[in-house]
Chain A
């Protein structure tokens, strides 16, 4: 009988006995099923090839080490090895996720530089300058509270103590400062966004 027509069990036996062509026949016979199965799980050609290779390295080591004892069930046995290696791959990728460039997913969208560019830095500077000019327009007591609260990050208790007024007065001044700021912004039609 030609080698190509021998059943799996006999090819396995021949391979164990030293016939290297038997392995080639087994691979040619089952590569489509095994590779298709791996690819259907990992959906990546390169990873599928790696797993296919590792699967057969295990097969070879087991057969040459005389540890194979599933005569007649070669394909399910190889599929089980492949399945275990697929699970191992997913476990590894969970610990170290890898993203590949695809049509739907651009690696550059994942690796964006979130630091502001020169344009947005200039806009932010301008906005801050405009805001300082508007704050300067406020009455002195309101300006003082607003600067202490926003720029010096002081609590209303600290502001009240420092300006010798009650907390309620400090809160009121802050409220009026914000209302007046809004009014000034609307009046001058200033856009304070970048």
Chain B
């Protein structure tokens, strides 16, 4: 049987999002306020 010489992709390294992505999420969270007006949620963004 023919041998396979293709390399297996190493999956040992952890997949992580970019630092900027995480920072954006955290800043977005800090800036966002949601206020209930009647039955509606109103988003207020401090940025």
**A residues adjacent to B (C-beta < 8 A):** 20, 23-24, 27, 31-32, 35-36, 39, 48-49, 52-53, 56-57, 60-61, 64-66
**A60-B18 contact in complex given A20-B30, A65-B34, C-beta closer than 8 Å:** no
CA distance A56 to B18 in the complex (A): 14
Could you tell me the distance in whole angstroms from the C-beta of A41 to the nearest C-beta in chain B?
12
**Of the residues A39, A56, A66, contact of B25 by C-beta under 8 Å:** A56
Contact partners of B34 in chain A: CB under 8 A:
61, 64-66
Task: Please name 18 pairs of A and B residues whose Cβ atoms are closer than 8 Å in the assembled complex, sorted by A.
Answer: A20-B29, A23-B25, A23-B26, A27-B25, A27-B26, A31-B17, A32-B15, A35-B15, A35-B17, A48-B15, A48-B17, A49-B17, A52-B17, A53-B17, A64-B33, A64-B34, A65-B41, A66-B36
Find out whether the CB atom of A57 lies under 8 angstroms from the CB atom of B28: yes
Which residue of the partner chain A has the closest CB to B11?
Answer: A36
Q: In the assembly, what is the distance between CA of A32 and CA of B15, in Å?
A: 6
Alpha-carbon distance between A36 and B16 when the two chains are bound, in angstroms: 7
Q: Are B21 and A53 in contact, with the CB atoms below 8 A?
A: yes
CB <8 Å contact, B26 and A49? no
Do B16 and A31 have beta carbons less than 8 Å apart? yes
- Does B10 count as interface, using CB distance less than 8 angstroms? no
Task: Provide the bound-state CA to CA distance between A57 and B34, in Å.
Answer: 13
Q: Which residues from chain B contact A64 at a C-beta distance below 8 Å?
A: 29, 32-34
Of the candidates B21, B28, B30, B36, the one having the most CB atoms from chain A within 10 angstroms of its own CB is B21
Contact B25 A35 (CB under 8 A): no
Contacting residues, chain A, for B25 (C-beta < 8 A): 23, 27, 53, 56-57, 60
Q: Is the CB of B21 within 8 A of A52?
A: yes
Chain B positions within 8 Å of A24 at CB level = 26
CB neighbours of A31 from chain B (8 A): 16-17, 22
- Chain A residue nearest to B22 (CB atoms) is A27
